[in-house]
Amino acid sequence: MTIGIGINPWVWTSPVNNAALGLLAKIKAIGFDIAELPLEEPADLDAKLVKAALAEHGLRGIICAVYGPNRDLTSDDTAPRKECLSYVRAALKLCEAVGSKVLPGPMYAPVGKRRLVSPEQKKIEWERSVRGLRQAGKMAADHGVTIALEPLNRFETDLINTCAQCVQLVNDVDMKSVGIHLDTFHMNIEEHSIYAAVKLAGKKLAHVHTCENDRGAPGSGLVDWKGLAKGLKEIGYTGDAVIESFTPDCIAAATCIWRPLAKTQDDLARDGLKFLRKLLK
């Protein structure tokens, strides 16, 4: 089992723009294989600058998609649906330019859209999401990229909370360029078994986020890491595992992180990497 281990610079700063590419030197020095760069706005990252910075530091790059209320495939309004696909088109171009083979994130609906709606409305929104994802899947195939859909916990979305729901959505979309992205933080809240969720995702699993139940360093809390590792080994997973955490200095309100999760953000990165290297060897 060969799994690359990466980190998202949100651990240190937000937004991750051209000026933040200096963090790649730190990411390499700590020992990571991958820098996962979140694309909050298409103008934030210049493809040539990103490609050069990754090459300079000997890192692989992954572009991670960010979906706010203006990027909503489920909206009653056509404008957010169009904006979502326009954003995905730009993100896929960046993926191809920098060699990112996956575009992870909850593309099916924006983060923070959580309401109790009727079954009829839920069906309408599900079908809109499927149609939009098929359009995005065609674009992804053209760029040689897999869109990896991430189930989020109940406090962040009402559409897809579990791997089983995500499998159903991916099956409804029915495109090889649309797969699954699992995140241990969300799984720890929503799944009965992290191991079972990984097994259910199976060959559709295209990306994994690894952080603790409190968003701290992997290995420092309650997540069933042995179950994760066992599941990944049994499905023959050869994708990547990325630490996604956040700094309260820049992104507290969006992520509800009100206190430090480690002595320093560098400690969070180092401790998490050491743990994952041992776990996923």
Q: Catalytic positions, please? A: 150, 244
Tell me phi and psi for residue 246, to 5 degrees: -145, 155
Cis peptide before 248 (omega within 30 of 0): no
What is the token pair recorded at 232?
């990944």
How far apart are alpha carbons 32 and 174 in whole angstroms? 34
Half-sphere exposure at residue 184, Cβ-oriented, CA atoms within 13 angstroms: 31
Quote the distance between the C-alpha of residue 263 and its chain's center.
25
How far apart are alpha carbons 201 and 163 in whole angstroms? 7
How far apart are alpha carbons 183 and 212 in whole angstroms? 10
Tell me phi and psi for residue 66, to 5 degrees: -125, 125
Residue whose C-alpha is closest to residue 211's, from 281, 254, 154, 265: 265
Residues 6+ apart with CB under 8 A from 221: 212, 213, 214
Residue linked to tokens 């089992």: 1
Q: How many other C-beta atoms can be found within 10 angstroms of the C-beta atom of residue 235?
A: 17
Residue linked to tokens 């706005």: 41
